[in-house]
Amino acid sequence: MVVTDLCLCEYTDHGHCGVLTGAGRAAVIDNDATLDLLGRIAQTQAAAGADWVAPSGMMDGAVGAIRRALDEGGHAGTAILAYAAKYASAFYGPFRDAAQSTPAFGDRRSHQMDAANAREALREVALDVKEGADMVMVKPALSYLDIVRRVRDRFDVPVAAYNVSGEYALVKAAALKGWIDGDRVMEEILLSIKRAGADVILTYHARGDGAPARLKSARFLALALLAGCAPRLFVKPPGDPAAGVLVRWWGHSCFSLTDSAGRTILIDPFDDSVDYPAPTPRPDALLVTHAHFDHANFPGAAPEPLLKPPTREPDTEDSNGPGRGSPRRPAPPRWPYAVVRTTGTHTAAGVEVVGVSADHDDQGGRRHGFTAVYVWGMGGLRFAHLGDIGQASLRPDQRAALAGVDVLFVPVGGKTTVDAAGAWALIKEIAPRAVVPMHYGTARVRFFEFEPIHVFLRDAPNVRWLDGDTFRVRRDDLTSDTAVYVPAPPGTVKKEAP
């Protein structure tokens, strides 16, 4: 079943849900002109194969106009899911930031509903049902369960409730902090929406194989609706294995990996003891291997806060359009994205990441705290990053997690991690097809009497010196013999375009 979002906001430079007349404080939405466009878009979506169209703009008369357009265009069988009671809510914030869909000025309170008004919701639903809506929606869900209940009791059509991005982000952020059991809280929330009377729940928690099995049971139907785009908080499609992965070395243990779908995983973005600049990519997921990193300079990765609040900009004479003024968020957004900093199995940006604890020994008895080995699949390859591992041999749980690794990022430093001999002992145990050394070529070498990479390479049977700090790795390019890829120092040569 294909359900398409139907609104003008994603096609306009101002980001409002309809055609505007006037400018600044004088700008208003031309409702009638908007209806004609919505009808034409609905015909196009139905012709492309949509089973349902879902008008989300809360334009007066939209359902009737769309129904007439569909019938006249030969699409009488295309159903309408009406955003019948859509409230002007701050809970939409994460989605709007990720999708960059916040209006360029003003807000949407002239046509979305006031949070304090319950009776108006019933009037809006009644109008949409009369105009031909096949299903009606209440949005958001969690703070409007009373509205869901009232609509369910009064109308004999299916009722949907949208568990929106802000509600989702609250659960995910608290779970990442370890404050709640994320899966159990998620189930309680969704069951409360079902208990209030929803026949269909639209939620970002429903993510295919990543969703808990109980979420897929017959107790309720849960759909993931991404409203015309795929924000970074949610899953991108798998990358093409034939295209492989673009790898960039930013210094020390920091790498970014990007697949053909544009998914970027960033590892260890800033170390307070190494003089390399903070990397610039906007990641979909961030892996943090050990606790002595200072990630405060990388947005969203600092322990406090995990997600940054919106910034309020002062209103000016021309800053408000339809409705009243509201906080505006910075663009382009730099969050949200998944942050993995613990052991266990995680789903980050649609990728399963397995974290296994590792010993971090600086040979002087001083521990730097938590360090982890991470293993994940991406672009048809299996990657592993050994963090600041100080072991010269693997434990059984580490050996099991690292089985079948294609590309291994390994430290070669020797003071705070394994030395060259220890690195080669680990490589022989893991038997990857490609090795990328790290912990060399930066200010970290001040801890050593020599550049550690040269000692490491003395035992390397197959060395490939790279022209830059960015390279692409593909499964078909790897051989059965372990090859060592040696990137040039970061920022010194031309880089391959993603």
Residues 6 or more apart in contact with residue 305 via CB below 8 angstroms: none
How many distinct helices (H) and strands (E) make up the chain?
10, 23
Distance CA 396, CA 331 (A): 47
Enumerate the β-bridge partners of residue 375. Answer: 354, 384
Residue type, 96: R
Distance CA 284, CA 299 (A): 12
The answer to whether 113 touches 121, Cβ cutoff 8 Å, is: yes
Compute how many other C-beta atoms are within 10 angstroms of the C-beta atom of residue 277: 12
Prior bond of 305 cis (ω within 30°): yes
DSSP string, 19-65: -EES-GGG-EE-HHHHHHHHHHHHHHHHHTT-SEEEE-S--TTHHHH
Distance CA 275, CA 273 (A): 7
Distance CA 172, CA 359 (A): 29
Distance CA 425, CA 391 (A): 9
Distance CA 470, CA 236 (A): 23
Residue type, 312: R
The answer to whether 371 touches 389, Cβ cutoff 8 Å, is: yes
> Annotated catalytic, 308?
no
> Annotated catalytic, 139?
yes
| Structure tokens given for 144 | 């409007």
Cα→Cα distances 416→101, 159, 271, 361, 390, Å: 45, 59, 13, 6, 7
Tell me, what DSSP letter sits at residue 209? Answer: G
- Choosing from 139, 172, 308, 495, which is the catalytic residue? 139
Of 329, 218, 272, which Cα lies nearest the Cα of 443? 272
Distance CA 285, CA 47 (A): 36
DSSP string, 218-277: TT-EEE---TTS--TTSPPPPPPGGG-EEEEEEETTEEEEEETT--EEEE----TTS--P
Active-site annotation, residues: 86, 139
